[in-house]
Chain A
């Protein structure tokens, strides 16, 4: 059972426009949500995160929105640039009783920004 879902495998956006990547989750115990960007042959690069007690976090061109009631989060990239073309992973974190945590990832959305 997929606890974190990215329903759009791919997205194409014109340079300068807004890119919106979506993510849904099912586990209400998740307390942190993160977005990672991945280029081929490289490990994921951390982009931005949000705590479950917030509904918005902004960092430069990247903004993450969290709607807990809908169990939905989204990543907005404004303005989109060709260098943003990559696979974007949504991830959710839960802290276990041992103080440990693990990330559960969605399957990714491939973003293509067209010049």
Chain B
């Protein structure tokens, strides 16, 4: 079974731009979660989607948004990029409540 895939793997943007990241979950997994990893804050929960509905959201500003499609693929969008948004963005898919399987991440650099 193929794992979680994320595209692109690397991205460079400038302040003020917006970015869209994509995640394809493991086949059959309906839950997709997004996390941000930075050296200072570690891994922080962004949001979780299940059957195209956002079920949970972390403490991030409204510039961070996401959606999920009927095939469970998910995208997250960050608008008006700031330098502090530079991070590794990880997507995880899950078949059960207790286990999440992570993709390789998208490394975003904001200049």
A104 at the interface (CB under 8 A from B): yes
Contact B43 A89 (CB under 8 A): yes
Interface of A toward B, CB cutoff 8 Å? 32, 34, 36, 41-46, 49, 51, 89, 91, 93, 95-96, 98-108
Q: A106: which B residues are within 8 A, CB to CB? A: 42
Contact B56 A100 (CB under 8 A): yes
Contact A44 B102 (CB under 8 A): yes
Contact B104 A42 (CB under 8 A): yes
Contact A34 B99 (CB under 8 A): yes
How far apart sit A34 and B33, CA to CA, in the bound complex (Å)?
Answer: 16
How far apart sit A110 and B43, CA to CA, in the bound complex (Å)?
Answer: 15
Contact A43 B45 (CB under 8 A): no
Contact A93 B43 (CB under 8 A): no
Contact A100 B100 (CB under 8 A): no
Closest to B102 in A: A43
Report which of B4, B42, B48, B103 forms a contact with A102, defined as CB distance below 8 A. B48
Contact B55 A96 (CB under 8 A): yes
Contact B55 A99 (CB under 8 A): yes
Q: A107: which B residues are within 8 A, CB to CB? A: 42
Total count of chain B residues near the partner, CB < 8 A: 23
Contact A103 B45 (CB under 8 A): yes
6 contacts between A and B (CB under 8 A): A34-B99, A42-B104, A43-B103, A89-B43, A100-B56, A103-B92
Contact A100 B48 (CB under 8 A): yes
Q: A108: which B residues are within 8 A, CB to CB? A: 42
Q: B101: which A residues are within 8 A, CB to CB? A: 46
How far apart sit A93 and B92, CA to CA, in the bound complex (Å)?
Answer: 14
How far apart sit A43 and B56, CA to CA, in the bound complex (Å)?
Answer: 21
B81 at the interface (CB under 8 A from A): no
Q: B105: which A residues are within 8 A, CB to CB? A: 42-43
Report which of A42, A96, A103 forms a contact with B33, defined as CB distance below 8 A. A103
Contact B56 A98 (CB under 8 A): yes
Knowing A41-B104, A43-B104, A106-B42 touch, does A100 contact B55 (C-beta < 8 A)? yes
CB distance from B99 to the nearest CB of A (A): 6
Knowing A41-B104, A103-B45 touch, does A34 contact B98 (C-beta < 8 A)? yes
